[in-house]
A and B are shown apart, each in its own frame.
Chain A
């Protein structure tokens, strides 16, 4: 079925890629044309549907002066802090689950991974009540906290740590290094690829978050990009040019990061899913 028709395979793959890329291309083209021309070149469909006839940056300029700029800064801040704090939380936990020995370790591992596997969004509504009673609504802490513990990242880092030979930490212990030193000086430097993979998991989770920021940060001052984008759609008089501009900006940054670190992302998916 596969081998005998390379052309069929090729056509299918390229067709799928076109279907996937077309909406993004169209959004980018629409962001670069004057706002009132977004729907102009649709019928009949022509090359001008996909290429702006008149190029302009006015949508992006308007965005940079409006509330969307604030939302982008919020998103960048919240996501960066999530990745940094989340890596500390997940890496220390993974270290305790992979390297340290104590009774009940596998029980703690099971509880931790199973609870983290309960998808965050499914308990977002009761959690938002809890956060409200702690006065964490409309705050960066409220936005960041849910992203820092990630079962997939813990699981992935643990797998990686377990593959590091025990002889290394035993030798270090003889030389007088404590567990903290072993973690910082041996395990972390050796785990850069796994840390990048885990960082990407935390990044994608937080950058994509929509339900939680919607629940916990209704104040526009604390809107993140994904929520600010949606508020365009809710407006009575939608500025489609700006809406597409915002969509393109919100999509491009994570895409660029994913492009750069692609192999770590794929490796982290593979280790969490199909392979051991």
Chain B
């Protein structure tokens, strides 16, 4: 995509000013530009400014400059929330995308009542995360129905959210309940776009099902898969409702994902400058991921 000068045929500043098209365009763009500035750029800038200009909450750190960052990065609670977030991402992304891909593959070919199953899988997308957290939170209570179900097949009751080892996995199951159907929809659309002739050619060459998947489906689906991975990573960076409602980051910090850490720091501990520095770190991480995503979107638009 040509970004600045649009070459000979593109409109010039002089022409645009004379014909008044620049004014018209600004008029149409104004509401969205105001929204972008006030709702995205300003708060991001505010967090950056605050993190550099307000003193750190703990003594012994520089008042200006990177004091908040050195304080944050030396705080074991914050470091643990970062490692927990990365652990969470490393597990949740493959689980969700793997299941979504399996489902999309299973639904891609003719299936009785195909529309019904696709709709059922997509429906939880409409359910607010706080609601799915409430419902599944009760389901995963030690005296709840999941343990009752496990008991019928002879598995002893599990601690789930009350256990330091199982709490993060439980949060992963709760967010995947919505996520899998959502990403399946993208992958299904991607599968439908693969020209059937490629499969026919592979079949003529004697490729078996696995080889067709490996040599036709996967390469053809690469863009969709990458998009889903990137978008899913961004979404999972920001998981908050199930943590805040169900575990508050516990037990023993085992589910303290970064959004919960920022919220706790800023609103419960009153460390706004630390929360601002943590926000800057989060936004920086997200911008890297979004940058990849945007590159892919514009590449797609080009092709």
Task: Tell me the A residues contacting B by CB distance below 8 Å.
Answer: 1-4, 6, 9-10, 12-14, 16-17, 20-21, 23-24, 26-27, 39, 42-45, 49, 88-90, 92-93, 95-97, 100-108, 110-123, 125-127, 129-130, 145-146, 148-149, 154-155, 179, 183, 204, 207-211, 214-215, 225-227, 229-230, 232-234, 240, 243-244, 247, 250-251, 254-255, 257-259, 262, 265-266, 269-270, 273-276
Contacts and interface: CB of A to CB of B under 8 A. Distances in A.
B163 interface: no
Contacts of A26: 135, 139, 145
Given A209-B128, A210-B129, A273-B227, 11 more contacts: A1-B213, A3-B209, A100-B21, A107-B4, A112-B36, A126-B46, A214-B244, A229-B134, A234-B245, A269-B185, A273-B189
Nearest to B298: A110
5 closest cross-chain pairs (CB), A and B: A149-B35, A93-B32, A254-B126, A96-B28, A127-B43
A4 B102 CA distance: 15
Nearest to B2: A106
B106 A12 contact: yes
Nearest to A27: B135
B106 A13 contact: yes
A168 to B, nearest CB: 17
B91 interface: no
B105 A274 contact: no
Contacts of A1: 105, 209-210, 212-213
Interface string B167-199: 000000000010011000111011001000000
Contacts of B275: 125
20 contacts: A9-B106, A9-B111, A26-B139, A42-B143, A44-B148, A44-B152, A106-B3, A106-B6, A114-B291, A118-B286, A120-B39, A148-B31, A226-B131, A230-B130, A230-B241, A230-B244, A233-B134, A259-B119, A273-B224, A276-B303
B189 to A, nearest CB: 4
B97 interface: no
Interface size of B as a range: 35 or more
Contacts of A179: 24, 28
Main secondary structure of the interface of B (DSSP, over half): helix
B215 interface: no
A96 B24 CA distance: 8
B127 interface: yes
Interface stretch (B62-70, B79-87, B232-240): B232-240
B131 A108 contact: no
A255 B119 CA distance: 10
A117 to B, nearest CB: 5
A269 B36 contact: no
Nearest to B3: A106
A115 B41 contact: yes
Nearest to B50: A126
A148 B210 CA distance: 46
Contact of A110 (B3, B46, B209): B3
B131 A250 contact: yes
B130 A130 contact: no
Given A42-B148, A116-B40, A16 B21 contact: no
Contacts of B57: none
A230 B245 contact: yes
A178 B8 CA distance: 26
B128 A226 contact: yes
B221 to A, nearest CB: 9
A36 to B, nearest CB: 14
B226 to A, nearest CB: 10
Interface string B104-135: 01111101100001011111111111111111
Contacts of A113: 294, 297
